[in-house]
A and B are shown apart, each in its own frame.
Chain A
Amino acid sequence: MERHFEAELEKLKTRILKMCSLVDEQLTAAIRVIEEENIELANQIIERDDKVDKYDVKIDKACQKLLALRQPVATDLRFIMSAMTINNNLERIGDIAVNIASNFLIMRKKPDFLSKTNFTPMANIVKEMVKNSIDSFINNDPKLAQKVIETDKILDQYNVDNHQILISIMKENKENIDTAVALLVICRQLERLGDHATNIAEDVYFIVEAQMIKHKYVKFLFGEMGDDKDDDNDKEINN
């Protein structure tokens, strides 16, 4: 049966895809800002964030309407629930692109010691993670989603190492402190981007496989099949 609802879901998905590509552009541009010392591009990113926010509101409204009017269940429910959180994560990715651009405006130029840090490998990993998380959403691909989740560990390690590298750089030469702190913040933002990409990937997994994998406790609380237990109290949470 052809459903009007189907068309509305398709419309929602298209809108999220548009937001995906906008956010992806913002992120790629933010990294280019630093690599190319591009102040003009930084300002463009900041301006364009309005558009991201508008998509955010539109998608939220569309989800709210579908939930209220269609009372979706099963796969439709999972899709709409995930659409809301994916939207939220995309909006945060957009904000982080703005933060990176703003931090560059503090630095004004690329630090001389940039190549000694983990900035470039982190930026490359993050771009790939965000792209893959979006692709996994477009193609309903839980395998690709899992790959994103696994990659996050590598990114986290790069970030930890990067702290040490930047502290050494600051110790070597006090002149570097301002720039090094700004770069530290930027790299920390890259690490956060990885978390948002991971969240999106976990939602994709939830849509396709109907299993929540976002925290290790899900199995503990809900069992192998993710079912509710008979009792609705929260006593396990305090254990």
Chain B
Amino acid sequence: MKETKITVKNLNLFYGEKQALADISIDIYSQRVTAFIGPSGCGKSTFLRVINRMNDLIDDVRITGKIQIDGIDIYDKNLDVVNLRKRIGMVFQKSNLFPKTIYENLIFGPRINGIKDRKVLDEIAEKTLIQAALWEEVKDRLDDPALSLSGGQQQRLCIARALAVEPQIILMDEPASALDPISTAKIEELIDELKKNYTIVIVTHNMQQAARVSDYTAFFYLGRLIEYDKTSRIFTNPSNRQTEDYVTGRFG
């Protein structure tokens, strides 16, 4: 049975006068992978950032509408944003590791959250590396600089680091677009593995990737959610003409 993790109702987002998202309503399901697709500037990344309130950091952003995670309004004035972000991991297009060791990167979040016990931290490091399918490759070099890893490994380390604070939701913004096909395949395998325990939302420009990894696909265009359905349906028989034109490459 699928359970709704994130509920969005009539969401609008403005950068100053410019409206970037218009009247978006969507239910995102727990333990499923949801892909956001659409041409550049369609609002998919903006929407992803709304989910962990990253747009708070930008001046002049105005948001109306409702976003709930597990039934709790995340734009409630009394909500602790740090707490919210602890529940949501984020992975970006380019790996953004700290210029520290592999180990230091992994335990950064847990340590900030107050965990001091070295044994506990070691366990977290090992567990998250295993989850991110990186353990075998780095277990003997945890004290090496994180930036000495290959691009694909760095990206998996970013995922491991995100997992270390035990989030429930993982947001990925083009996580494999800078990687070669083998590293991409590893990330995709990983996503498939992680969805058993997490809610995953992925923004991708690669239509085949959306088709491969996601259970649900949302197509955005000009700040609107045009169509949202099972991925198998979006790629075999979309209901909307614009979705059809986009997934078949007729525009975009």
Contacts and interface: CB of A to CB of B under 8 A. Distances in A.
Interface of A: 1, 3, 5, 71-78, 210, 225-228
B232 A228 contact: yes
Contact of B244 (A5, A72, A75): A75
B232 A227 contact: yes
B233 A227 contact: yes
Contacts of A226: 237
A233 to B, nearest CB: 16
Contacts of A75: 244, 248
Interface residues of B, number: 17
B207 interface: yes
Contacts of A210: 236-237
B211 A73 contact: yes
A205 to B, nearest CB: 13
B249 A1 contact: yes
A77 B211 CA distance: 13
Given A73-B236, A74-B248, A77-B235, 19 more contacts: A1-B251, A3-B250, A71-B208, A72-B248, A73-B207, A73-B211, A73-B235, A74-B236, A74-B237, A74-B244, A74-B247, A75-B248, A78-B237, A210-B236, A210-B237, A225-B233, A226-B237, A227-B233, A228-B230
Given A227-B230, A228-B230, A228-B232, A5 B249 contact: yes
Nearest to B230: A227
B238 interface: yes
A1 B250 contact: yes
A73 B248 contact: yes
Nearest to A226: B237
A58 to B, nearest CB: 24
Contacts of B208: 71
A149 B234 CA distance: 29
B214 to A, nearest CB: 13
A-B pairs, 7 with minimum CB distance: A210-B237, A73-B235, A73-B247, A228-B232, A76-B248, A74-B244, A74-B248
Interface in B192-241: 207-208, 211, 230, 232-233, 235-238
Contacts of A225: 233
Contacts of A1: 249-252
Contact of A3 (B232, B236, B247, B249): B249
B249 A74 contact: no
Contacts of A227: 230, 232-233
Contacts of A5: 249
Contacts of B232: 227-228
A72 B207 CA distance: 11
A228 B233 CA distance: 8
12 contacts: A1-B249, A1-B250, A73-B207, A73-B247, A73-B248, A75-B244, A75-B248, A210-B236, A210-B237, A225-B233, A227-B232, A228-B230
A74 B249 CA distance: 11
Among B211, B230, B233, B248: residue with most chain A CB under 10 A: B248
A77 B249 contact: no
A210 B236 CA distance: 8
A202 to B, nearest CB: 16
Contacts of A77: 235-236
Contacts of B238: 74
A23 to B, nearest CB: 29
Interface string B152-196: 000000000000000000000000000000000000000000000
A146 to B, nearest CB: 19
B32 to A, nearest CB: 10
Contacts of A72: 248
B162 to A, nearest CB: 27
Among B208, B238, B249: residue with most chain A CB under 10 A: B249
Contacts of A74: 235-238, 244, 247-248
Contact of A78 (B230, B233, B236): B236
B37 to A, nearest CB: 12
Contacts of A76: 248
A3 B230 CA distance: 27
Nearest to B250: A1
Contacts of B235: 73-74, 77
A5 B248 CA distance: 10
A165 B55 CA distance: 82
A224 to B, nearest CB: 13
B229 to A, nearest CB: 9
A73 to B, nearest CB: 4
